[in-house]
Structure 1
Amino acid sequence: MTSSITKHPLTDDDFFQNREKLKEDILTFYSERIPDILKVLYETARFEMRIRNLEPLFDSPFHYRFIEDYGLNLFVDGFLFSLYSKANLLNEFLREDISSEVKERLDRMAADAARKFEENTVHCFTLTAYKIFEFGVEAGKEYTL
């Protein structure tokens, strides 16, 4: 019996194009969520942690590092977690690996923030980082290549 499905092997160009499209899409999804991320950070600082002077939090070099580095990488982690889950590839080993990577990233971010800010402000960034991961998971759930 022969298959009616024509086999089309993926070439290196196909992988490269798919990888580049995925990277562009993730960056687009992340940039679209930045206003939401800033809102979460603001609301966490103002209403949960009761920080009155928010200028140091939003005008610091760490704030930009948080958005451009830590946040983006956590978003990617959440996005990939979601893609693996959707494809039924999220086994226990991969789940633990992603969790470990996220924990290490959060620990580095908190240590970095602690050099500039008090504990309650560091906590604002940590809570916002968890939400960024969730934003990545949500984006990954709806994504198709």
Structure 2
Amino acid sequence: MKEYVLSVDYSPITGLRYCNESDFSGEDFYHKKLNSWFADAYQNNEQIKIILDGGEDGYGPSFRDEAFGNLVYDFSLDIVKKILIIESPGEELWKEEIEENTFPDWEKRRTKKEAPKQTESHDAWYRLIDNKLERKVWKNE
């Protein structure tokens, strides 16, 4: 299992939900780090652990929702639950909010095909389609 400490492997400072709102946003973290970390774990039939600890200003609710919600949208709630372990030693509430609110809300969005907002052009990223990983720049239609 690979472990990633968000404050070390991404940034000690995190921003808001979208790239057009702040640097180090949830959207940015998802596209620059979390999507490929997760896809790698999926391909290797492994789990990954994301540790929400050590951030200078914590991890705001919009950051957490956008980053982990996109993951559910692209891979499905069932797959995310099998692969992702979240630890939040300093704030257990963050983990609970992600698992109890973000995950089910974004699974509803996924099933309704309500695509996530993109406020910046991103390099190709992974999405699970018919149990196959596909990597491309996905257009919100």
Regarding TM over 0.5, the answer is no
When the two structures are superposed, what TM-score results if normalisation uses the length of structure 2? 0.31
- Of structures 1 and 2, the larger Rg is shown by 1
Structure with more of its chain in strand, by fraction: 2
Q: Which has the higher contact order (CA 8 A, sep 6+)?
A: 1
